[in-house]
Amino acid sequence: MSMSLLITGLALFMAVHLIPKAPRLRLALVGRLGAKPYRGAFSAVALLALAVVVWGFSRSPVEQVYAPPAWGHPVSMILTPIALVLFAAANMPTRIRALVRHPMLLGLLLWAFAHLLANGEIRSLVLFGGFAAFAAVEIASAAARGKGPPKEPPPRIAMDIAAVVVGAIAAGLLAGFHGVLFGAPVL
């Protein structure tokens, strides 16, 4: 039952994020709900899906599938802050966003890969493997459509510094509270 919740939450999270890729469906929903209510519903469903993912993950069996490499945890400690900087940069007018085609998806891929390096149980394989596969497919799909970062004038370096600071603060907070939030201390 717990693994079913994890998989259901992942499927719902991914499905809601595929709606923007289906323009007719998205336009129909925006037409029916309105732009702001659509965004609100989108966010609410995505948050609900994440809550189901966390709940399902926390109750899923901790059965080892593979032994993570000895270097996996230290490498994950490097990749995760980079992923968080990419998450921040994706939502700010940064040079990072102008250089990296899809910073949010690349950040998700790095974050998931980092967790796969440090964890070898089935629930981690399902969760982080699912997110890694989703991000990789989305990056490839966007590249095939020729979709890249928006063409904007080069932003000021201050926004890149802000993205790094936000990512570093997020990394510090997550490292400090990971055990409380997710039941597995980072350090």
| Rounded CA separation 169/89 (Å) | 13
pTM: 0.86
pLDDT of 148 > 70? The answer is no
Q: How many CB atoms lie within 10 A of CB 11?
A: 14
User: Which secondary structure element, helix H or strand E, spans residue 82, and what is its range?
Assistant: helix 72-90
How would residue 104 be classed by pLDDT, with cut points 50, 70 and 90? Answer: very high
How would residue 20 be classed by pLDDT, with cut points 50, 70 and 90? Answer: confident
Alpha carbon 68 to chain centroid distance? 21
Q: What is the mean pLDDT of residues 148-163?
A: 76
Q: pLDDT tens across 43-64, in order?
A: 999 999 999 999 999 889 889 9
